[in-house]
Amino acid sequence: MNPKTLILGGVRSGKSRLAETLARDSGRQVVYVATAHAGDEEMARRIAAHRRRRPAHWQTVEEGVGLAAALQAHDGPGRCLVVDCLTLWLTNLLLAADEPLLRETRALLACLPGLAAEVILVSNETGLGIVPAEPLSRRFNDEAGRLHQALAQICDRVILTVAGLPQVLKGEPL
């Protein structure tokens, strides 16, 4: 079985820790696909904290744009692919010079069902707050919402994490 799990939550909700726990408990070889870039000191500290939490034997792949290609390159039975996080990936796509958003999101949605690995996707739920004032932020929220809805249809399990407490919205309970 190659389950696909989408974990949503706010900032510091416990979604990454949950993903790491599920990956560790899977008993599979873990490939951690990181989408963040350390653009400033604060982000560098966040990335470092995530790295320290992960077991040393996990393979880390850094990919900010070509997520579907990275997943396909590291796919295989007996593997667990963790993607952290999709909203940073969306930001990278929206800010890329050639804006590959449509191409890359279509590629991700098309490749997921055929992957032999277990996949755990982490993303920030951005749709629970106010509507942002600036157009790029509104577009980001819209794109994240559309992506989450499409992924929720594909994934076997969808979990909303609030205050460190996972709430299973779809699929098998934890």
Q: Which two tokens stand for residue 110?
A: 């098309």
Residue among 50, 57, 74, 148 flagged as catalytic: 50
CA–CA gap between residue 144 and residue 163 (Å, rounded): 21
Q: Which helix (H) or strand (E) holds 152?
A: helix 135-154
For 144, other C-beta atoms within 10 Å of its C-beta total 20
Find the distance separating the first CA and the last CA of the chain, reported in whole Å. Answer: 16
Q: Which helix (H) or strand (E) holds 52?
A: helix 41-53
Residue 37 falls in the annotated catalytic set: no
Give the residue numbers annotated as catalytic, written as ranges. Answer: 50
